[in-house]
Amino acid sequence: MKYSILIMILLVSMISGAASCDKNGNNMSTGNNTENNEENNMPNDTIKIKVNSKTFTATLSDNNSAKAFKDMLPLTIKMVELNGNEKYYDLPESLPANPSNPGIIQNGDLMLYGSGTLVLFYKTFSTSYSYTKLGTIDDVTGLAPALGSGNITVTIEIQQ
């Protein structure tokens, strides 16, 4: 009887060990799979936002919306002024969205309104609207004067 139980435990151990390997015998657990870890971390999560002669860097959020946005880059777009605190641009295609109300918009927030409107905020203020966060400008010094008070052409690209 003892030998039967021991054999059963050994068999279960062997089957579960084999099930956690791929067809080449490689361990498939997420802790040891470097390929899987690379997919979870954006290898280069920094973008450049060029406004006239001024360049700002921004760090992208770690979400599907930001990843889809990054796949669209580089972009040179004409952003439209709105409310004296933001510039927006209607993207050519929708992005995945997971909107929530941030309560307060921060100067330098790069957001998605709905699923297709890119918004760059250059003033801090309270809001009742919901957005999906795409990223944040790292240093907002000079952002508002660079964007100015009218429509503006902006180039967004991946930081090399």
Per residue in 64-112, pLDDT tens?
999 999 999 999 999 999 999 999 999 999 999 999 999 999 999 999 9
Percent of the chain with pLDDT over 70: 73
Residue 152 belongs to what H/E stretch?
Answer: strand 152-158
Please give the average per-residue pLDDT across 41-49, as a whole number.
Answer: 77
**What pLDDT is attached to residue 5?**
53
Domains and CATH numbers, the chain: 2-40 (no CATH), 46-158 (2.40.100.20)
Confidence band of 3 (pLDDT split at 50, 70, 90): low
Query: pTM (2 decimals)?
Result: 0.73
pLDDT grade for 9, boundaries at 50, 70 and 90: low
53: left (phi over 0), alpha (psi -120 to 50) or beta: alpha
pLDDT at position 32 over 70: no
Residue 11 corresponds to which tokens in the numbers above? 């068999």
pLDDT of 26 > 50? The answer is no
Whether 12 has a pLDDT exceeding 80, the answer reads no
Mean pLDDT of the chain: 83
